[in-house]
Each structure stands twice: as C-alpha cells, then as structure tokens.
Amino acid sequence: MNRITAAITAVGGYVPEFVLTNKILETMVDTNDEWITSRTGIKERRVLKDKTKGTSYLAIMAAKDLIEKSNLDPAEIDLVIVTSVSFDMPVAATAVFVATQIGAVNAFAYDLQAACSGFLFAMSTADAYIKSGKYKKILVIGADKMSSIIDYTDRATCIIFGDGAGAVLFEANEEGLGIQDEILKSDGIGRDYLKIDAGGSLLPASIETVENRQHFVYQDGKTVFKYAVVGMADVSEKIMQKNNLTNDDVDWLIAHQANKRIIDATASRMNLDPDKVLINIQNYGNTTAATLPLLLFDFEKKFKKGDTLIFAAFGGGFTWGSIYLKWAYDSK
Ligand code: UT7
C-alpha cells in the first residue's frame, strides 16, 4: 500500500463586510495612510460590526463556504479544529459550537491556540491524525475577531489587525501529495512582547484590569519585528535545504500576513521571484490565525495539482514555523 499523506482537498473563507480603511483610522488615532502603507503594507482591514456575533460566526461562515463549494457532507467530518486568539468564551470551546452549527454531527472538536502560528500547528495536528490512519476528514479553521480585543485608541496595534476566517479540509492522499515536512518552533521568551495581560488565571478580570485597558492586545512591535524577520526567514530557508528544494522548485510562498516587510525579508532569504509570494495584507491587515487559510481562499485558482507551497508564520509566544506541502488538486 502507498504511504498515506494529509492533503488539502477543499478551501473556504469569509471576511465581514465593513471595511476599516487607513483614511478612517486617521480620524480615530494619530496616524496616516502613508505611515501605515510604508511600514506595514496595509490599506484596509475588515471588521465584524455586529456585537452579538463572535469569532464562531466567522468560522461558521468560512466552513459553510467550504462545504457548499465542495459538496461535502458535514456528517462525514471526523474532527473540527478551530485555531484563534479570540475564542467566543474562555471555557466552552468555540470549535464545539462551530461543529454543531455546521452539521458536523459525527465529529469531535477542540480549540488550538498558538497565536499567529495557530494554523500551522493545527495543520501539523491534522497531518499526524491522518497519517496515523486514525481519522479521515479533518476540518481546520483559522478565525479571529481581532476587533474584539484591539484597543482603538492605541495606534501601535489598531492599524495592524483585522477580522476574518479561512477553512481547509484535510483528507488522506495516496499519491504522495499534501504535507511533506514541517519545522515548528516556540520560545517563551516572547511572552512579554505580544500578549493580553488580563483575563487569564494569572491576572483575572477586575475593575482595575478594565480601567487599565489590560484586556486588549499589547505588542512591543519593534522587538516582535526583529524576532519575526529572523525566525520566519530561518525556518523557511531550512525547510528548503532539508528537502533539497531550490527557489525554482517552490511555486508559492504562503506567509503569515503580519507586515509586508517581514514577508519580503523571508522571500528574499528564499531567493523567490516576487510573483511567487502571495500577498493580501493590503486588504485584510493581520487576521492572526486566519491569514494563511485566507491566502489559500483568495489564491486557490492559481494552484495546480503538484505545486509546491511553503507555509511560514511567526507569532506571539513566540511561536513560529514552516510547512512544505504539495497541492493536491486543480482548482475549477
Ligand atoms: O502577527 C504577530 C506578529 N506580529 C508582527 O510580526 C508585527 C511585528 N512588528 C511590526 O510589524 C512593526 O514593528 C510595526 C508595524 C508594529 C511598527 O513599525 P515600526 O517600523 O517597528 O515602528 P516603530 O514602533 O519603531 O515606530 C516608529 C515611529 C515611532 O515614532 P518615533 O519614536 O520614531 O518618533 C512611533 O511612535 O513611528 C511612530 N508610530 C506611528 N506613527 C504613525 C507608531 N505607530 C504609528 C502609527 N502611525 N500607527
């Protein structure tokens, strides 16, 4: 029997309607379009305005898009993983609610948190389950309602983040396509540089934590930038070397959309032509766990069966890594 690999067989996505442009942000904080564009590459981001809806709404919409497009019977899904940093609630897992809402009645479900690298780590989890033969269809959803945890008076963070979700289905493949290799990393040194201080067991919610705005994302951008530039480029170069891939062999770079300058640095270390580097940061900003699947959603039509994709991400924690995947189908 051929070796079993875990391949992506369907993609879905969703971004909310409201467009928060750099021009609008200029009226909210002391910033300007020129600064945001030149420092980050971001022009606009999406925001889920409906206060009654959480991250699960974005995840459900992305999953439903996938199910509709691929004619998937949700009852066949074995496992649903939602990765995010803005889950609906601290205790009841968002993935469980999402699985029920999309009709994945035979699946079990759980949340996975690894900040901006969450989607990579969830891909690795799906890969291990499928390779082992334990489960056959795994839905991985990256979703974040960043607007629910962003302080719109803090210009250092509010210009960066946006809301969105992307979903992919992993299935067993016997043609050698799908996930080929991974390099995943973490280092607790990052905990102080990108975090939400309050609301966890270390600093539970109180009047003081609310007054001190400690339930919002704090980022020391300069420090995170330095680590991200080195970390993402390192693992992307290493995964190529480890698998004897030249720049000609790589068809697409699927890089976490945190800052256009970090993506450019990674592409340059890999010596990639710019047309192989997929970018949608200008439209969505940093959607945290959703950036990688939203790239697949936006550019799915470009991919051909057998194409070599290198995924790369860097995020809070710190967490980072790279995955080498062979695309498994020609998009219609
Ligand atoms: O996705 C998870 C991982 N996250 C990342 O990878 C993000 C990594 N970090 C970054 O992308 C960048 O550090 C930022 C985009 C967050 C900031 O860019 P930067 O080039 O590192 O700017 P900076 O923080 O060094 O600030 C430069 C200047 C400062 O002014 P002075 O001190 O030079 O006078 C800031 O006060 O720009 C000022 N500044 C702004 N000006 C206009 C900071 N934010 C803004 C703003 N608009 N929004």
Q: For every one of its 332 residues, what pLDDT tens digit does the chain have, with 9 covering 90 and above?
A: 578 999 999 999 999 999 999 999 999 999 999 999 999 999 999 999 999 999 999 999 999 999 999 999 999 999 999 999 999 999 999 999 999 999 999 999 999 999 999 999 999 999 999 999 999 999 999 999 999 999 999 999 999 999 999 999 999 999 999 999 999 999 999 999 999 999 999 999 999 999 999 999 999 999 999 999 999 999 999 999 999 999 999 999 999 999 999 999 999 999 999 999 999 999 999 999 999 999 999 999 999 999 999 999 999 999 999 999 999 999 87
CA 291 to ligand 1 center in whole angstroms = 20
The answer to whether residues 293 and 166 touch, using CB atoms and an 8 Å cutoff, is: yes
| Coil, helix or strand at residue 245 | coil
| Ligand 1 binding pocket includes 259 (Cβ within 6 Å) | yes
The first and second tokens of residue 183, run together, are 């390099």
* CA–CA gap between residue 170 and residue 138 (Å, rounded): 5
Q: Is 115 left (phi over 0), alpha (psi -120 to 50) or beta?
A: left
pLDDT of residue 79: 98
Measured distance CA(16)–CA(164) in Å, rounded? 7
Report d(CA 277, CA 266) in Å as an integer.
Answer: 10
Q: Could you give the domains of the chain?
A: 5-176 (3.40.47.10), 179-326 (3.40.47.10)
**Does any ligand 1 atom lie closer than 6 A to the CB of residue 218?**
no
Of 21, 35, 39, 319, the one to substitute when testing ligand 1's pocket (max ligand atoms within 8 A of C-beta) is: 39
Q: Would you say how long the chain is, in residues?
A: 332
Give, using CA atoms, the residue closest to atom 36 of ligand 1: 156
Tell whether ligand 1 has an atom less than 6 A from the beta carbon of residue 25. Answer: no
**pLDDT score at 3:** 87
Distance of alpha carbon 101 from alpha carbon 107, whole angstroms: 12
Q: Whose CA is nearest to atom 43 of ligand 1?
A: 156
| Nearest partner of 190 among 275, 32, 316, judged by Cα | 316
pLDDT at 151: 98
Ligand 1 contacts CB of residue 152 (under 6 A) = no
For Cα atoms 269, 327, 124, give the angle at the middle one, nearest 5 degrees. 75
pTM: 0.97
* Atom of ligand 1 lying closest to residue 286 CA: 1
H-helix or E-strand spanning residue 294:
helix 291-299
Q: What residues are annotated to the active site?
A: 116, 256, 286
Give which of 18, 25, 17 is closest to 43, Cα–Cα.
25
Alpha carbon nearest to ligand 1 atom 21, residue:
222
Cα end-to-end span (Å), the chain: 30
- Nearest CA residue ID for atom 13, ligand 1: 221
How much distance in Å is there from the Cα of 160 to the middle of ligand 1?
10
CB 9 within 8 A of CB 70: yes
CA distances from 249 to 92, 105, 177, 241, 308 (A): 44, 41, 15, 12, 7
Residue nearest to atom 19 of ligand 1 (CA): 222
